[in-house]
Amino acid sequence: MELQTARNQLAEAKQALTKAQGELAIARTSLGETKQTLTKSQAELEAARKDLLQNKESLGRTQGELTLTRKILGETGAAREAALKALTEAKERQKETLARLEQMSKDLTKSKETEASARKELADSRQQLVTVQGQMAAARKALTDSTAERVSLQKDLTSARTQQQAAEARAEALGKDLTATRGTLTSAQKTLAETAAAEEMLRKDLAAQKIRAAAAEKELKGTANQLAAIRDRATVSEAALNVSRQTLEMSRRRLSDVHYLRALEGRSRFIVEVPAPAAKLYLDGKAYEAGEGKLMREFVTAKLQPGKRYTLTLKVEWEKEGQPVSAEKQVVFEGDTEHRLYLGLPE
């Protein structure tokens, strides 16, 4: 229905366009004729102007001749009559020329009005043409939309047919499943009868399992008592381990200032134990990276002056329980000595 309406609108738009084009052609023809009339009127007006000038010149000459005649003939009546007659004729010709000039002006004004009317009709025709073109565009768009809608309806119809075929296939499959389900139901009924007998046997087994569970629960209580005793012993062992750690820490602190005389060609060796492998060691404020990742750090100084004593500041930084910790110690040393140190928390 919408497609037919769009086609009707398109036909009407084409008819309106043809009518507008005809009116436009008529307006153009009328405009051409008006321009020709205007050109002709302008030519006639120009000729009338020339005639008027000639008449004025003739009138001037006549007046001159009349004056000359008056001087020559004096008050001659015949000459005066002739002169007056010539003057009257000249005035008549002047009036006629002025009348023609006025008529030509009116024709020119009328031609201009006709030209303005023709231009207005031409503008109206162009406006109608634009309107008709808009109607044609709308009709074409409606025709395109109708075509798209028809294609969409065809797709929907195809999809509906596909869904109908799928539904029929599912219905057939459901029929087969129903037949299979009936057979399964018969088999299940037989199995149910067998299950009733098995259930009786399971009840007997459940009673026996309850007896075994009671015995296992009693055994579990005994195991829990043993676990509590083991936990108590572990607590005691942990306390003893802490005491041992404290004793070891105190021992390390007591050994921190141990040094020995060694033949090192005037050098001094340091063996430093840090609290953690990830600890950072600093010598006089400079990081010492050798041996990182180990508990024992060792380094040897350059050759020292004999008999001169030197001072070295050792600092270690590490983390304990997620918090940054540091320890620092100053050591006085000289050449040919070995120092064994432990850097830990201060007492």
List of domains in the chain: 2-160 (1.10.287.1490), 257-342 (2.60.40)
Name the more confident of 169 and 286: 286
Q: Are 290 and 297 in contact (CB under 8 A)?
A: yes
Q: Are 258 and 329 in contact (CB under 8 A)?
A: no
Q: Are 122 and 24 in contact (CB under 8 A)?
A: yes
Q: Are 341 and 273 in contact (CB under 8 A)?
A: yes
Which of 58-72, 165-179, 216-230 holds the top average pLDDT? 216-230
Q: Are 329 and 314 in contact (CB under 8 A)?
A: yes
Mean pLDDT along residues 299-308: 93
pTM: 0.31
In this structure, the strands spanning 337-342 and 268-273 are parallel
- The letter for the amino acid at 228 is A
Residue 231 has pLDDT above 50, yes or no: yes
Name the more confident of 291 and 261: 261
- The b/e string for 249-286 (b: 16+ C-beta within 10 A; e otherwise) is eeeeeeebeebeeeebeebbbbebbbbeeebebebeee
Which of 25-39, 89-103, 200-214, 316-330 holds the top average pLDDT? 316-330
Name the more confident of 337 and 77: 337
Residue 198 has pLDDT above 50, yes or no: yes
In this prediction, residue 255 carries a pLDDT of 46
Which of 55-64, 195-204, 260-269 holds the top average pLDDT? 260-269
Residue 317 has pLDDT above 60, yes or no: yes
In this prediction, residue 137 carries a pLDDT of 80
- The letter for the amino acid at 99 is A
Confidence tier at 84 by pLDDT (50, 70, 90): confident
Residue 138 has pLDDT above 50, yes or no: yes
Confidence tier at 230 by pLDDT (50, 70, 90): confident
Which of 157-166, 212-221, 300-309 holds the top average pLDDT? 300-309
> Mean pLDDT across the chain, nearest whole number?
81
Confidence tier at 12 by pLDDT (50, 70, 90): confident
Mean pLDDT along residues 193-202: 78
CA distance 59 to 86: 9
Cα-based distances in Å from 117 to 32, 66, 103, 263, 309: 13, 52, 21, 131, 126
Residue 171 has pLDDT above 70, yes or no: no
In this prediction, residue 257 carries a pLDDT of 62
Tokens (6 digits) for 118: 């023709």
Mean pLDDT along residues 66-86: 71
Residue 16 has pLDDT above 60, yes or no: yes
